[in-house]
Structure 1
């Protein structure tokens, strides 16, 4: 049994204990040491299948308070990573620059930040929103006066309804999109407005004088 063997990747003789057993070879040891054999297997697998889906630092020593970013292959302090309560470390898998770059790439993939936001939240594209705005003449679908800057949707079904101005969109939200409550509010305003038109009883002033 040999005590040492030459590893071509190391360029040096290594102890036999650093080689895996291989009965096919005359000396009973693998051609490369364990470290370089694993590295060659990983490289070959990555070339065939692409990088691993769950990426971990390879042959990287991490000190306490450090984390490895798989996109830039750099070890950085934990503070350089975005916060993520879903991770055991409390930080996301990517450093802040790489995290931001991935976000930009995702938005660009969907046609820019506006389309990305609209599709993610409402399921429509920027072109569809622009078409709705043109159909409404650029104004709110309720008051028909103020610019329509907000997408209104049914909070129960998620279906997009129309484009509204800030006040009308906020008003619907305050009344919880409840048609019955909105009708009660309308009758309330109408009844008080009718009373104001009739005026106070004879001998009474409408407003106090002091």
Structure 2
């Protein structure tokens, strides 16, 4: 095993024949560091002997496919693997091959030669949102298409995004990916409004009914103003309890009222009104 200091290397497995052999059957790469070659001595001798044959061709160092012919020094890749690694169309001024750049990790398109990082120039403005897009296997073009389908606003509150992009809402019952995406929502709708309604759809129906037909409006419409019977009951009750319990009292009766100066007569009848207002002293605070 490699990595033992002072040459104390135990037995190891040959990378060619697969046999576990003692360290004496391997050539040293660095004896002070205890590093041995991967091939045993016998396999290395067979390889060197085979290379002397003019018809011998090496294997691709990446896919291990036998190359059709001997290649120049340093090239041990087949044409397919070489094309994946180097740019065959654009060479350097001295004729050397340029290393092929990896595609943009967000949109999958080619990157510019001088571009730094993992994103192409068109995806650079999406760098702060790249993690969310990769999470659901979306590209910036997919995000823009969904946003345009929603009219450029949050689907629930119809508010345009301000300061930050709309969140990607997904179905938590499905595995994360393109199939789980439901739409784009603002932060309030995605984290506050929608989760509460999603747990109880009946609550959502009640909220819709509450907004379209508020219950208080029908009750207020039946009362049509101040109910005099309620006021009569409130004025005569000396129990000190909440006046709401006296709503069913229809006729107060001739008892002494709680507020002596409260006029409980119906303003719609033709009863005579006092010609002079009460003396101001009667309203003085004690």
**TM-score class normalised by the smaller sequence:** 0.3 to 0.5
Query: Which structure's CA Rg is the greater one?
Result: 2
| TM-score for both structures, normalised by structure 2 | 0.32
TM-score by length of 1: 0.42
